[in-house]
Amino acid sequence: MNAKRPMIAVMTGAGISTASGIPDYRGPQGIWRQDPAAEQLVTVGPYLADPDVRRRAWQMRLRIGAHAALPNAGHLALAELERGGLPIRVLTQNVDGLHQRSGLPAHKVLELHGTAARVRCAGCGSESEMAEALDRVTAGEDDPACLACGGVLRPCTVMFGETLDSTVLGQAETIAQACDLFVAIGSSLQVYPAAALPLVAVQSGARLIVVNGEPTPYDELAAEVIREPIPEAVPALVRRILAGE
């Protein structure tokens, strides 16, 4: 009789995408450390109320270039883990879509904070592609409005000041409760309620591995803490998991 294959939950934060050229928020070179005022650009109140905040936010999106970023070795390794046949679900705090671009099936990726690939009108609710809005900014519009009603365009992400979708959060908690191994990669594990998921997993009996450059609040609960750079650490960890270690 074959042994039960372990169910693996992988939670990823901004740190997994820095090697793709997308800066994180709280790391040593993070956006908030470089410019604390930049947090306004992804906070719903200031964003909706202040045209200047929106203009700066659009320029930040162009500068970061997440829409053109490519998956790095960390993303590709997780796709390889999925192809290895182990049951895996990726719970990502990121909005860059790089897990899907790496080859992970979309239904195995739960985007906790939404997606930056699309924009939504705060007025009429109509959605369109982020790339189209960025093309308008490149062409000279500093705060592109909804083409349907003239309302404020915002990314289809969970901004600061908003709550996570209760359905998405419930699915993430169910995955955390069911998994045998929970791997947290590139997350400060400080943004709640998503940051509570490792604790849910550990309390349900899962083994926890933390891969992050800086200490996290959950390091003491982890069976293993890995500090090596993510593009090297994640492929090495995936090889060990596929080998049954």
The 10s digit of each residue's pLDDT in 4-40 is: 678 999 999 999 999 998 876 655 555 555 566 777 8
Give 184-210 pLDDT, tens digit per residue.
999 999 988 999 999 999 999 999 999
How many other CB atoms sit within 10 Å of the CB of residue 49?
10
Instruction: Grade residue 63 by pLDDT with cuts at 50, 70 and 90.
Output: confident
Tokens of 156: 């289809």
Using the predicted structure, report yes or no on whether residue 79 has a pLDDT greater than 90. yes
d(CA 98, CA 175): 21
Judged by average pLDDT, the poorest of 60-64, 162-166, 184-188 is 60-64
pLDDT for 245: 73
Dihedral in degrees, nearest 10, Cα atoms 67, 73, 79, 81: -160
Average predicted confidence (pLDDT) for the chain: 91
Q: Catalytic site residues?
A: 113
| Domains of the chain (ranges, CATH numbers) | 1-22+70-113+163-245 (3.40.50.1220), 29-64+118-157 (3.30.1600.10)
Q: Are 97 and 121 in contact (CB under 8 A)?
A: no
pTM metric for this prediction: 0.89
- Does residue 100 register a pLDDT over 90? yes
Q: What is the mean pLDDT of residues 219-233?
A: 96
Q: How many residues does the chain have?
A: 245
3-state secondary structure of 18: helix
Cα–Cα distance for residue pair 94/103, rounded to 1 Å: 16
pLDDT tens for 101-151 read 999 999 999 999 999 999 999 999 999 999 999 999 999 999 999 999 999
The strand pairing partners of 88, in sequence order, are 8
- What letter does residue 43 receive in the DSSP assignment? B
Decide if pLDDT at 242 tops 80: yes
Give the model's pLDDT for residue 30. Answer: 52
What φ, ψ does residue 160 adopt, rounded to 5°?
Answer: -60, 140
Q: Could you tell me what percent of the chain has a pLDDT over 90?
A: 81
Q: Is 12 helix (H, G, I), strand (E, B) or coil?
A: strand
